[in-house]
């Protein structure tokens, strides 16, 4: 019997705020007060997380003091360099920029700032996931051979991150590697047949709450171990206090019937192969 809290893992979707942001906002009282490198290092040690992928928000005010994507990318590179081998990071998008500026920024994210993918967050940017703006950016990601992570936790069928719209975009780009973050939440069936990985961040406890352990397990198996990616969304959660996210995730995953081989793929194998491209 293996234990999810001790097997080697990569956390494929989490959040850190740069030190300069914490320094300027010392009295932060929301969940982002926990988005600190030193604190996350303790969790990495405690739970055998060998590396993590930092996701930006498509809202550059959160991850820089200059409030622009270039500054976010500079901060992300600095975090990667100061903690060699521990962090990967996906590129941000500034929706106030023209498409031309955002394409240039994505090229720089790879060539100048050594970032590992592109994050699209339609809820934060206000842009429809299948909008022409996103389509052109995904074309650029395809040219740059970058994986694309899409936030999809829609509340309604017509949400900008609705799973059906996400599936439309994914199906247009068979050569791009996509990760649908939060599995399309309660619209997961819409992405079941499209060729995308899914990360279990934010949604796992919500599935257990809504469908019970067995129901949650059925959904995960419907996608299968070749498509599932372990991710915490730390320190963010709709249901759990930040401190309880990892222990709760490992309790849930320990109650599922994944084989050791399947667990290795979900815990680290799938995201490793994506990041190596």
Looking at residues 233 to 262 of the shown chain, list those that interact with Zn ion (rule: CB under 5 A): 233
> Nearest residue by C-beta to Zn ion?
233
- Please state the closest distance from residue 236 (CB atom) to Zn ion, in A: 6
- Please state the closest distance from residue 89 (CB atom) to Zn ion, in A: 13
**How many C-beta atoms lie closer than 10 Å to residue 114's C-beta?**
14
92 or 233, CB closer to Zn ion?
233
d(CA 155, CA 175): 29
94 or 233, CB closer to Zn ion?
233
- Please state the closest distance from residue 181 (CB atom) to Zn ion, in A: 6
- Please state the closest distance from residue 260 (CB atom) to Zn ion, in A: 28
103 or 231, CB closer to Zn ion?
231
Binding mask 209-238 for Zn ion (x = CB under 5 A): ------------------------x-----
Does 199 interact with Zn ion (rule: CB under 5 A)? no
191 or 202, CB closer to Zn ion?
202
Using H for helix, E for strand and C for coil, what is the string for the chain?
CCCCCCCCEEEEEECCCCHHHHHHCCCCCCHHHHCCHHHHHHHHHHHCEEEEEECCCCCCCCCCCCCCHHHHHHHHHHHHHHCCCCEEECECCCCCCCHHHHHHHHHHHHHCCCCCCEEECHHHHCCCCCCHHHHHHHHHHHHCCCCEEEECCCCCCCCCCCHHHHHHHHHHCCCCCEEEEHHHHHHHHHHCCCCCEEECCCCHHHHHHHHHHHHHHHHHHHHCCCCEECCCCCCCCCCCCHHHHHHHHHHHHHCCCCCHHHHHHHHHHHHHHHHHC
- Please state the closest distance from residue 145 (CB atom) to Zn ion, in A: 23
103 or 180, CB closer to Zn ion?
180
Length, in residues, of the chain = 277
- Please state the closest distance from residue 15 (CB atom) to Zn ion, in A: 6
217 or 235, CB closer to Zn ion?
235
- Please state the closest distance from residue 201 (CB atom) to Zn ion, in A: 6
184 or 217, CB closer to Zn ion?
184
Q: Which residues bind Zn ion (CB under 5 A)?
A: 233
């Amino acid at each position: 019997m293996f234990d999810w809290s001790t097997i080697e893992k990569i956390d494929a979707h989490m959040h850190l705020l740069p030190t300069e942001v914490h320094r300027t906002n010392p009295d932060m009282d929301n969940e982002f007060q926990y988005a600190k490198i030193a604190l996350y290092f303790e969790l990495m040690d405690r739970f055998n997380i060998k590396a993590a992928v930092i996701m930006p928000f498509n809202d550059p005010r959160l991850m820089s003091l200059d409030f622009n994507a270039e500054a976010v990318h500079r901060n992300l590179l600095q975090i990667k360099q100061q903690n060699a081998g521990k962090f990967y990071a996906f590129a941000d998008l500034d929706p106030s920029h023209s498409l031309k500026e955002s394409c240039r920024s994505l090229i720089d994210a790879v060539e100048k700032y050594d970032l590992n993918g592109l994050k699209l967050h339609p809820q934060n940017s206000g842009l429809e996931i299948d909008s022409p703006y996103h389509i052109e950016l995904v074309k650029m990601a395809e040219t740059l051979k970058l994986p694309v992570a899409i936030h999809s936790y829609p509340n309604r069928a017509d949400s900008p991150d609705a799973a059906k719209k996400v599936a439309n975009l994914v199906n247009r780009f068979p050569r791009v590697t996509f990760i649908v973050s939060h599995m399309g939440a309660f619209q997961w069936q819409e992405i079941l047949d499209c060729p995308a990985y899914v990360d279990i961040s934010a949604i796992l406890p919500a599935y257990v709450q809504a469908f019970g352990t067995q129901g949650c397990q059925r959904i995960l198996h419907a996608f299968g171990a070749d498509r599932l990616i372990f991710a915490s969304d730390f320190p963010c959660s709709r249901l759990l206090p930040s401190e309880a996210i990892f222990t709760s995730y490992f309790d849930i995953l320990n109650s599922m019937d994944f084989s050791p081989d399947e667990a290795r793929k979900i815990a680290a194998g799938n995201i490793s192969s994506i990041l190596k491209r």
